[in-house]
Chains A and B, each alone.
Chain A
């Protein structure tokens, strides 16, 4: 067997571990680490921006769902009041607007078209606002009852024709945007 140390003495001077490849390796490592940090920070920003947007849309959609539930309950009461008025029975409507009021103060609700909340608000205000206290007091004159019925009919018709479809369309739009933002990952 031959000793390798004895075999390569004349080549030893030519072998240099701190050569071009060594320095190239170091440069690539430093560059890679720097680029990695920079890219991850950029990606982190994009993800954070997307998360924030997604969060707004999700909260807006959930809030709108609660507002819709509140509206459904109020409309149910109005429908019941109409039926009772027709039968000449005493009736009473207590409109609940807590979630509508709360929703208005939330900054993420800017994701919702203001017309949606405005239409719900318009439904509660105006004629309905005037007629509900009268209904609560009870029928005095049959002509008044007729007028009250007409008002309730108009409110319900507007809810069915304008407000509910608008609300549904907005919920759909928010869900679509939410899916789009989530799918952008």
Chain B
């Protein structure tokens, strides 16, 4: 084969390779372009979802802060003018990206922004002096819902960002730090209550199954939330016992989480109520018992901060039946009594709870 023929072969090989490279490049470019477009669409979806959720998380933090401030002092300007922000959630719920979240998270968010929020705001705007304690209960319930939703949301945002990192490395975000509400300094009266000696006869409740008559109990009527979460507080109570029965023991059931089944209006079943009476339901923070001889009374909780958010007060009669106290009221300790703001002065006869609640549970 002479040189001319070899050169001719080289020319045609070159042409064939060029042709196939051109064809393959077009095919490859369109394939990779498509894949990159899909990757970008996915990245955008994740980024938008992440941004929406960060905004909701931020909004939850703002609302949590507003609630904590309001609960620091009932009836204050922070309480009366409490303002909840709902814009980020309103925006997020209309977007398709919300369906990238875990259903538990969307459900927790729906609970936060549900009817309770609306009714609480409406209640605060129209409230009368006697409504404060109910509204404070609503605020505590809302706070609990926000506290449940935030870690779930944070977990989902982390998952979204992890997935984002796999798709593209741009635009990572930082989590929103939890709100900090500084506790108010204690007044002279509060200081005096803190150093009061604990009443000596407090005992831990035995938590045996309760087999007597099960009373009806409701969140609004039969529980109390602390008027000063930083403590100390005092609680006044009055029991209504059947005729001929005498009070024998006072039961205090403290809970960090709402012991009622959500939503708050749901009817409680007898079994759950029996467990509540025995201090067996919903993981109480403490169950304390003290002998009593009067149908009314008050007790001071000198702990700082208060170790409960929800408290059920039961009076056991001489026949061993337990009766929930209707509408126990909690008070911030202060010199100038103020009924709408729940500030009062405990009497000298008031029982004093032990510090640390006898090392409960």
A133 to chain B, nearest CB (A): 14
- In the complex, A178 Cα to B151 Cα: how many Å? 30
Query: B260: CB under 8 A from chain A?
Result: no
**What residues of chain A lie closer than 8 Å to B95, measured between beta carbons?**
107
For residue B221, CB closer than 8 A to chain A, the reply is no
B25 touches A33 (CB 8 A): yes
A52 CA to B37 CA, complexed, in Å: 13
Q: B36: which of A16, A29, A45, A121 is its contact (CB, 8 Å)?
A: A45
Instruction: Provide the residues of chain A in CB contact with B43, threshold 8 Å.
Output: 45, 49
A1-42 near B? 1/0 per residue, CB < 8 Å? 000000000001001111000100010011001100110011
Q: Of B58, B91, B171, which contacts A49 at CB under 8 A? A: B171
Identify the stretch in B3-11, B130-138, B276-284 within 8 Å (CB) of chain A at 4 or more residues. B3-11
Would you call B170 and A46 a contact (CB within 8 A)? yes
Do A12 and B85 have beta carbons less than 8 Å apart? no
B55-A118 in contact (CB<8A): no
Measured in the bound complex, the distance between the Cα atoms of B82 and A127 in whole Å is 11
B46-54, B181-189, B308-316, B337-345: which one contacts chain A? B46-54
Query: When the two chains form their complex, are residues A114 and B29 in contact, meaning their CB atoms are under 8 A apart?
Result: no
Indicate whether A88 reaches chain B with its CB closer than 8 angstroms.
no
Contacting residue for B94 out of A17, A44, A45, A105, CB 8 A: A105
Chain A residues near B25: list those with CB within 8 A.
33-34, 37
The answer to whether A118 and B83 touch (CB under 8 A), given A49-B43, A50-B170, is yes
Distance of A34 Cα from B301 Cα, bound (Å)? 75
- How many chain A residues touch B (Cβ–Cβ < 8 Å)? 41
Contact A42 B29 (CB under 8 A): no
* B81 at the A interface (CB under 8 A): yes
**Known contacts A107-B52, A109-B91: A38-B168 contact under CB 8 Å:** no
Secondary structure type dominating chain A contacts: helix
Count B-side interface residues using an 8 Å CB cutoff: 42
Q: Given A37-B25, A41-B33, verify A118-B85 contact (CB < 8 Å).
A: yes
Per-position contact with B for A95-125: 1 when CB-CB < 8 Å, else 0?
0000000001111011101110110011001
Q: Nearest A residue to B39 by beta-carbon distance?
A: A45
How far apart are the CA atoms of A22 and B47 in the complex, in Å?
Answer: 48
In the bound assembly, the distance between CA atoms of A114 and B90 in angstroms comes to: 12
- The interface residues of chain B lying within 8 Å CB-to-CB of A29 are 17, 21
Nearest neighbor of A42 in chain B, beta-carbon distance: B36
B58: min CB distance to chain A, Å: 5
Given A17-B10, A107-B95, A126-B81 in contact, is the A117-B87 Cβ separation under 8 Å?
yes
Judged by a CB distance under 8 angstroms, whether B28 is at the interface is: yes
Complex A-B, nearest 4 residue pairs according to Cβ-Cβ distance, in ascending order: A110-B51, A17-B10, A118-B85, A104-B87
> 19 A-B Cβ contacts within 8 A?
A12-B3, A18-B6, A18-B13, A29-B17, A30-B17, A30-B21, A49-B171, A107-B48, A107-B95, A109-B91, A110-B51, A110-B52, A110-B88, A113-B58, A115-B58, A117-B85, A118-B62, A118-B83, A126-B83
Binding site for A on B (CB under 8 A): 2-3, 6-7, 9-10, 13-14, 17, 21, 25, 28-29, 32-33, 35-36, 39-40, 43-44, 47-48, 51-52, 54-55, 58-59, 62, 81, 83, 85, 87-88, 90-91, 94-95, 168, 170-171
- Contacts A53-B171, A109-B91, A125-B83 known; list 16 others, CB within 8 Å: A12-B2, A17-B7, A17-B10, A18-B9, A22-B14, A26-B14, A29-B17, A37-B28, A41-B29, A49-B43, A104-B87, A110-B88, A115-B62, A118-B59, A118-B87, A126-B83
